[in-house]
């Protein structure tokens, strides 16, 4: 999480927005309108995935040019040296923590499966880094890096997957489905794809009723963005000007379905036009691009400007979860994106291009992270499993379990001064 407000706050690459949010040009004919979606990528991969029928069913083939050179990292408009290195550090911790989780799974210590954000670390870490302490985050399963940025420790994820007694859900869930609504402003992931969006719009509305504009960040996949809940949530946020920062993790696959079979628009950021909000495209493997777009969206939310949709283009570099070997993905696609690894390219940027880290300093940073992770792993492995008796706790109503404390204060606006007590019979009659 970023501690201080960064320079350049308030600037926006989204340009002047029309009533419909996205930048609008009026064409030469008065009845013609065109809309612009800013695209910050330094390359636009020119390939397509198509389904082909085979004797045993179907498979996927890729066509187009996969030989283009790897683009450089785009300099951030807002991040300084220290902040850039800090984001890199979170990304490496995210990657190495997931490698440790995979090893724990292979050692038979994990209860259930493991989900990975391999290749998506820049999207998770740089986006969450753009949030202020008072903002809220709702990660999805691939955003374990966002949880680290928001103050959770690797031990939390490790104990969660091993269903340990000291895990955030005390052994009741075997994935990263946990949050912390009291200290870290993190809402737990919801399995039903899209449902986090209206929930987060509600969090922003709650803050609005208390007289504050906050940013509420969440994520949705290229598959999940087609759900009705996504539409309802973004539309509600748009109409109410709520500070939802929605990152579409456009990672080319939804389980085994390629994005070509998920939607017909060219880019998912175009959906923003229909919602009447700004939409922007970034290279999801470039942490600086992700940060800049997220920062501008967060600043916009703080100004009460409403939601922003950020499409982060990248590739899911593993299967859906550890049980899925992703054999359906054409191999050249993996090779193409492996060359665009967000961490290797960021290391090159920091050490070779900017020279903000010497090779020795970089080695030290990696060594420190590895030692820290090993300590976390030891602690998680050695912590106890829940007792059998603890299973009945938290199931039925207990003292205090229905107590929902207001997070900040009572509503300040839009609420009548009526004294507490039952509504008048006239009011009840009205609704009959
Ligand atoms: C409403 C809903 N439909 C189906 C599922 C089952 N499901 C879980 S993950 C997934 C694929 C998601 O793909 P995408 O949204 O692209 O995210 P990715 O896994 O690529 O990050 C599906 C179909 C679900 N959880 N919720
Ligand atoms: Mg996907």
- Atom 21 (ligand 1) nearest CA: 221
CB atoms within 10 A of CB 297: 30
- Atom 19 (ligand 1) nearest CA: 254
Q: Specify the ligand 1 atom closest to the Cα of 194.
A: 1
Q: Specify the ligand 1 atom closest to the Cα of 222.
A: 16
Kindly give the distance from the C-alpha atom of residue 193 to the centroid of ligand 1, in angstroms, as a whole number: 6
How many separate domains does the chain show? 1
DSSP line for 343-388: HHHHHHIIIIIS--S-HHHHHHHHHHHHHHHHHHHHHHHHSPPPPG
CB atoms within 10 A of CB 328: 17
Q: How far apart are CA 341 and CA 335, in angstroms?
A: 10
Q: Judge if pTM exceeds 0.85.
A: yes
As to burial, measured by CB atoms within 10 angstroms (0-12 exposed, 13-18 middle, 19+ buried), residue 245 is: buried
Which ligand neighbours the alpha carbon of 219 most closely? 1
Q: Look at residue 29 and tell me if it is in a domain.
A: no
- Could you tell me which of 2, 13, 7, 3 has the C-alpha nearest to residue 300? 13
Q: Look at residue 48 and tell me if it is in a domain.
A: no
Kindly give the distance from the C-alpha atom of residue 253 to the centroid of ligand 1, in angstroms, as a whole number: 10
Q: Look at residue 379 and tell me if it is in a domain.
A: yes
β pairing state of 257-258 and 253-254: antiparallel
Kindly give the distance from the C-alpha atom of residue 259 to the centroid of ligand 2, in angstroms, as a whole number: 7
Our mutation pick for probing the ligand 1 site, out of 117, 231, 255, counting the most ligand atoms within 8 A of Cβ, is: 255
Asked about 40 being catalytic, the answer comes back as: no
Residue in 300, 302, 316, 345 annotated catalytic:
316
Asked about 316 being catalytic, the answer comes back as: yes
Q: Specify the ligand 1 atom closest to the Cα of 191.
A: 25
Asked about 255 being catalytic, the answer comes back as: no
Kindly give the distance from the C-alpha atom of residue 159 to the centroid of ligand 2, in angstroms, as a whole number: 26
Kindly give the distance from the C-alpha atom of residue 254 to the centroid of ligand 1, in angstroms, as a whole number: 6
Torsion of CA 123, 91, 8, 17, to 10 degrees: 0
**Within the chain, what is the greatest distance between any pair of CA atoms?**
76
Structural domain span for residue 312? 35-41+81-318+334-386
Q: Specify the ligand 1 atom closest to the Cα of 316.
A: 20
The enclosing domain of 181 has a CATH number of 3.40.50.970
Q: Look at residue 222 and tell me if it is in a domain.
A: yes
Q: Look at residue 350 and tell me if it is in a domain.
A: yes
Residue in 231, 263, 328, 372 annotated catalytic:
328
Q: Look at residue 233 and tell me if it is in a domain.
A: yes
Task: List all residues whose CB is within 6 A of at least one atom of ligand 1.
Answer: 142, 191-193, 221-224, 227, 249, 251, 253-255, 316, 320
Q: Look at residue 329 and tell me if it is in a domain.
A: no
Q: How far apart are CA 297 and CA 312, in angstroms?
A: 14
HEC sequence for 36-79: ECCECCCCCCCEEEEEEEECCEEEEEEEECCCCCCCCCCCCCCC
Per residue of the chain (432 residues), what is the pLDDT tens digit?
Answer: 554 443 333 333 333 344 445 656 655 677 888 999 999 999 998 889 999 998 888 999 999 999 999 999 999 999 999 999 999 999 999 999 999 999 999 999 999 899 999 999 999 999 999 999 999 999 999 999 999 999 999 999 999 999 999 999 999 888 889 999 989 999 999 999 999 999 999 999 999 999 999 999 999 999 999 999 999 999 999 999 999 999 999 999 999 999 999 999 999 999 999 999 999 999 999 999 999 999 999 999 999 999 999 999 999 999 999 999 999 999 999 999 999 999 999 999 999 999 999 999 999 999 999 999 999 999 999 999 999 999 888 778 888 776 766 666 677 755 445 444 444 444 444 443
Give the model's pLDDT for residue 27: 58
Q: Look at residue 58 and tell me if it is in a domain.
A: no
284 with 337: CB under 8 angstroms?
no
């Amino acid at each position: 999480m970023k501690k201080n407000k960064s320079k350049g706050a308030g600037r926006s690459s989204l340009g002047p927005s029309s009533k419909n949010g996205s930048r609008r040009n009026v064409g030469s004919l008065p009845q013609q309108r065109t809309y612009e979606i800013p695209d910050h990528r330094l390359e636009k991969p020119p390939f397509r995935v198509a389904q082909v029928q085979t004797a045993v069913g179907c498979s996927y083939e890729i066509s187009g040019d996969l030989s283009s050179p790897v683009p450089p990292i785009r300099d951030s408009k807002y991040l300084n040296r220290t902040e850039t290195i800090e984001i890199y550090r979170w990304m490496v911790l995210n990657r190495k923590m997931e490698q440790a989780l995979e090893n724990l799974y292979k050692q038979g210590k994990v209860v259930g499966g493991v989900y990975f954000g391999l290749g998506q670390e820049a999207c998770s870490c740089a986006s969450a880094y753009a949030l202020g302490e008072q903002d809220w985050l709702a990660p999805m399963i691939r955003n374990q890096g966002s949880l680290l940025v928001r103050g959770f420790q690797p031990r939390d994820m490790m104990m969660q997957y091993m269903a340990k007694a000291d895990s955030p859900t005390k052994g009741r869930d075997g994935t990263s489905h946990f949050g912390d609504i009291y200290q870290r402003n993190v809402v737990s992931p919801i399995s039903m794809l899209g449902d986090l969006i209206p929930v987060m719009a509600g969090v922003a509305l709650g803050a609005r009723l208390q007289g504050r504009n906050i940013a509420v960040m969440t994520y949705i996949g290229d598959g999940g963005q087609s759900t009705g809940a996504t539409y309802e949530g973004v539309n509600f946020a748009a109409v109410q000007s709520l500070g939802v920062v929605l990152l579409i993790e456009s990672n080319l696959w939804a389980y085994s379905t390629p994005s070509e079979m998920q939607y017909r628009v060219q880019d998912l950021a175009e959906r923003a036009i229909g919602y009447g909000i700004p939409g922007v495209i970034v290279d999801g493997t470039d942490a600086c691009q992700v940060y800049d777009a997220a920062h501008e969206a967060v600043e916009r939310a703080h100004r009460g400007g409403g939601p922003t949709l950020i499409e982060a283009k990248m590739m899911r570099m593993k299967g859906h979860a550890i049980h899925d070997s992703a054999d359906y993905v054409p191999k050249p696609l993996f090779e193409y994106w492996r060359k665009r690894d967000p961490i290797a390219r960021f290391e090159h940027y920091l050490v070779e291009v900017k020279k903000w880290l010497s090779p020795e300093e970089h080695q030290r940073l990696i060594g420190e992270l590895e030692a820290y992770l090993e300590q976390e792993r030891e602690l998680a492995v050695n912590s106890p499993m829940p007792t059998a008796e603890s299973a009945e706790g938290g199931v039925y109503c207990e003292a205090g379990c229905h107590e929902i404390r207001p997070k900040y204060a009572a509503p300040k606006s839009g609420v009548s001064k009526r004294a507490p007590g039952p509504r008048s019979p006239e009011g009840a009659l009205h609704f009959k």
